[in-house]
Homo-oligomer: A and B are copies of this chain.
Amino acid sequence: MGGYFSVVLVSGGLDSAVAAAMAVREGDVAFLHVNYGQRTEKRELEAFNALADHYGVGKRLVVDLGYLKDIGGSALTDRTIDVPGGDLAREGIPVTYVPFRNAHMLSVAVSWAEVTGANRICIGAVEEDSSGYPDCREVFFHAFEKAAGAGTRPETSIEIATPLIHMKKRDIVAKGAELNVPFELTWSCYSAEELACGVCDSCLLRLRGFSEAGLEDPLPYATPGHNLREGGS
């Protein structure tokens, strides 16, 4: 496992925190955070820094992709489109999909990795049991890894690791608990920055994950009645 120097994409959410904890055990790390004009930008950055402090990570890069807001097309960056909630069974691509967002983040990660000499990028993307975003699928990460190999120096070799890609949310929670991930420092809510709303898709997925793992989410919620452990799912 040794010998890795990983650029870890840390949004500040639950999944990225677990992916970061895994990378920390496997070698040197650098933490990368991306603002892109999303509603909960400030709160996510706070979570990023809290996690980096927790793991004693000095190599940090925060980049601003504010232009994604200008491009629009997503409820996460366009305040005229409501963030939906309360129904994880909807089909198709959610309106929270930010077109091709992960390609922007990975491009930053690859450039930074090439300059700093990192040999791996870790991203806590989840394909199943998750959002339905096309840029969270394993086939996309494989394709992007090939593009990174073709578009960088011949001596640059960067692996894109997606350790959570086929995990269920409950298993991610369990893995995080096993690694002592400080869940209380993370932030998953799509729509609020003070108290997690408890009703957006991201909150629902998180709460269901904790519930199914038989664990308590240490974050307070604005609508505790939505804790799925009590209602059953």
Contact mask for chain A residues 147-189; partner B; CB cutoff 8 A; 1 contact, 0 none: 1111111100000000000000000000000000000000000
**B115 and A134 contacting across the interface, CB-CB below 8 Å:** no
Residues of B within 8 A of A147 (CB): 103, 140, 143-144, 146-147
Identify the closest chain B residue to A139 (Cβ): B150
**B151 and A143 contacting across the interface, CB-CB below 8 Å:** yes
Quick check: is A196 within 8 A (CB to CB) of the other chain?
no
Identify which of residues 96-110 in chain A touch chain B, using a CB-to-CB cut-off of 8 Å.
Answer: 97-104, 107-108, 110
Contact mask for chain A residues 83-116; partner B; CB cutoff 8 A; 1 contact, 0 none: 0000000000100011111111001101110110
Quick check: is A218 within 8 A (CB to CB) of the other chain?
no
User: Could you list 15 further interchain pairs (A-B, Cβ under 8 angstroms) beyond the known A73-B111, A103-B148, A140-B150?
Assistant: A61-B70, A67-B108, A99-B111, A99-B114, A103-B111, A103-B147, A134-B152, A135-B152, A137-B151, A140-B151, A143-B147, A143-B150, A143-B151, A144-B147, A146-B146
Chain A residues at the B interface, C-beta cutoff of 8 Å: 61, 63-68, 70-73, 93, 97-104, 107-108, 110-112, 114-115, 134-135, 137, 139-140, 142-144, 146-154
